[in-house]
Amino acid sequence: MKFGAVVVAAGRGERAGGAPKQFRPLLGRPALLWSLEALLTAGAAEIIVVVASEQVGPAERLIAALDRVSVRPGGATRTDSVRAGLAAIGDVDAVLIHDAARPGLTPAVVSALLAALGVGENAAAPALPVPDALMRVDAGGHALDALARDGVMRVQTPQAFRLNDIRAAYAAAPAGASFADDLAVMRATGARVRLITGDARLMKITYPEDFAVLERLMSANRIVCVGHGVDAHRFGEGDHVTLCGVRIPHDKGLVGHSDADAGWHALVDAILGALAEGDIGAHFPPSDAQWKGADSERFLRHAAQLAAKAGATLQHVDVTLLCERPKIGPHRDAMRERTAAVLGLPLARVSVKATTTERMGFLGREEGLAAQATATLERPA
Ligand code: CTP
Ligand code: MG
pLDDT in tens, 282-296: 999 888 888 888 899
Q: What is the pLDDT of residue 286?
A: 84
Pocket test for ligand 1, best of 49, 54, 83, 99 (most atoms within 8 A of CB): 99
Q: What is the pLDDT of residue 110?
A: 97
Domains 3-219 and 222-380 share a fold: no
Specify the 3-state DSSP secondary structure of 41.
Answer: helix
Specify the 3-state DSSP secondary structure of 147.
Answer: strand
CB 125 within 8 Å of CB 113: yes
In eight-state DSSP terms, residue 14 is T
CB 125 within 8 Å of CB 99: no
The set of protein residues with a Cβ atom below 6 angstroms from ligand 1 is: 8-16, 22, 50, 74-78, 81, 99-101, 204, 206
Q: What is the pLDDT of residue 381?
A: 80
Q: What is the pLDDT of residue 312?
A: 87
Instruction: Collect the ranges in the chain with pLDDT lower than 50.
Output: none
CA distance 299 to 313: 18
User: Strands 193-197, 123-129: parallel, antiparallel or unpaired by DSSP?
Assistant: parallel
What are the helix and strand counts (H, E) for the chain? 12, 19
Q: What is the pLDDT of residue 27?
A: 84
Domain boundaries, the chain: 3-219, 222-380
In eight-state DSSP terms, residue 276 is T
Domain 3-219: homologous superfamily in CATH: Spore Coat Polysaccharide Biosynthesis Protein SpsA; Chain A (3.90.550.10)
- 80: CA distance to ligand 2 center in Å? 12
> Residues with Cβ within 5 Å of ion ligand 2?
11
Fold exhibited by the domain 222-380: 60s Ribosomal Protein L30; Chain: A; (3.30.1330)
